[in-house]
Amino acid sequence: MTIQITHDLINMDGRMLVLPPGATGQAYLNLTLPDISVADTVQKYPLGTRYVNGDRAFRYGYFAGTVNPDLAVKDTQPQAVAYVSVQAATAQYATSFTLTVGTTDGIAGDGVIAVNALAGGYCVIFDATSKAITRQIVSNTVVASGGGTMTVVVTDPIPVALTTSDHGECMASPYSYLTASTSNAYGAFMGLPQLVYTSGQYGWIQTWGPCWIAPQAAVGAGANNRTCVFRHDGSIDELDMTATTHDLANSNGQIAGYVMSHAQAGTQGAPFVFLMIAP
């Protein structure tokens, strides 16, 4: 077997850039290590590109609103395609299939999906025996208005033949619509922006490793108090399993990571947090 490496995986200073699956079919094939201190007004890397810098990891994304580097950002777009039928029979081991997009699917709920709007996202296929198969999306065709047929190309072969009795669901790349979280209670937190990005810009969010996120007073205060969860606004709070009904975010919120270092007296300190979203 011959393994071809097309760019350096390890650099002398502990940094590397990893392009996402399917990126060879996209534009923006940039292998230059990024400068995370500047915003991009034009796209320079495929969305979801992973940049590793020592213990820290970052992802490249698109910002759909102004964000604050003290607070985590969310993917606030809804699922792109709900439970819909496979449109045509597909051979076993195919790397593409067709779906009948519904009239209320798409980010605006109007049955419209732009060409390649789902690239970097994911689909799940349910065959007639209810077995689930998950694949990452490389590209998709356009659905111009009110729903219709869409072809989805995926990164890996589908292990079963598909028929019109099968179904599928799709989501776009979670890095393709990043916003502040104050007005959305349903999106997942994807990372910590590296500067104040504004709508229409591209840039980097930290997804793993040491960082500082705006904390509530209880974070890291006291013995064995380390686990952090995200609050509604992208700040962090302690994980409190005794939270009452009015503050369930402290027990049901998304895990952010753990406190790395306390102050000398065992109080909060910075606190330095080891972010744990995506390595």
Final residue belonging to a domain, choices 171, 186, 216? 171
Q: Do 19 and 149 share a domain, yes or no?
A: no
Count the neighbouring beta carbons within 10 Å of the beta carbon of residue 54. 10
Of 97, 67, 61, residue with least CA distance to 177: 61
What tens digit of pLDDT does each residue of 162-206 get?
Answer: 999 999 999 999 999 999 987 677 899 999 999 999 999 999 999
Q: What single letter denotes the amino acid at residue 242?
A: T
Lowest-confidence region among 36-45, 65-74, 75-84, 220-229 = 220-229
pLDDT of residue 8: 52
Q: Find out whether 205 and 190 touch, Cβ atoms under 8 Å.
A: yes
20 and 100 inside one domain: no
Look at residues 171, 197, 223 and tell me which one is the last residue of a structural domain: 171
pLDDT at residue 158 is higher than 60: yes
pLDDT at 141: 96
Q: Do residues 111 and 145 lie in contact, with contact meaning Cβ atoms separated by under 8 Å?
A: yes
88 falls within a domain: yes
**119: in domain:** yes
Residue 13 has pLDDT above 90, yes or no: no
Q: Pick from 66, 59, 74: which is nearest to 199 by CA?
A: 66
Domain boundaries, position 181 = 15-75+177-207
* For residues 108-125, average pLDDT: 95
**30 plus 160 within the same structural domain:** no
Q: Do 135 and 91 belong to one domain?
A: yes
Q: Are residues 163 and 91 in the same domain?
A: yes
pLDDT at residue number 268: 80
Residue at 259 is within a domain? no
Whether the predicted pLDDT of 245 surpasses 80:
no
State whether 159 and 131 are in the same domain.
Answer: yes
- What are the tens digits of pLDDT across the range 117-138? 999 999 999 988 868 999 999 9
In this prediction, residue 1 carries a pLDDT of 42
Looking at the fold, whether 85 and 42 belong to one and the same domain comes out as no
pLDDT above 90 for 27: no
pLDDT of 227 strictly over 50? yes
Looking at the predicted structure, is the pLDDT value of residue 4 above 70?
no
- The number of domains in the chain is 2
- Domain presence at residue 233: no
Based on the fold, state whether residues 66 and 25 are members of the same structural domain. yes
Q: How far apart are CA 267 and CA 272, in angstroms?
A: 12
- In this structure, the answer to whether residues 85 and 150 fall within a common structural domain is yes
**More confident of the two residues 104 and 268:** 104
Verdict on whether the full-model pTM lies above 0.85: yes
Phi/psi for 264 (5° steps) reads -55, -40
Lowest-confidence segment of 145-154, 180-189, 239-248 by average pLDDT: 239-248
Residue 33 is assigned to a structural domain of this protein: yes
Residue 106 lies in a domain: yes
Q: What are phi and psi of 175, to 5 degrees?
A: -105, 10
- Name which of 42-56, 234-248, 262-276 the model is least confident about: 234-248
pLDDT at 265: 74
User: What percent of the chain has pLDDT above 70?
Assistant: 90
The answer as to whether 184 is a domain residue is yes
103 and 66 together in one domain: no
Q: Which residue has the tokens 């962090």?
A: 236
Mean pLDDT for 213-224 is: 88
109 and 160 assigned to the same domain: yes
Per-residue pLDDT band at 7 (split at 50, 70, 90): low
pLDDT at 9: 56
What average pLDDT does range 31-55 have in this prediction? 95
- Tokens read off for 148: 């219709």
The arithmetic mean of pLDDT across residues 45-67, rounded, is 96
Residues 100 and 156 both lie in one domain: yes
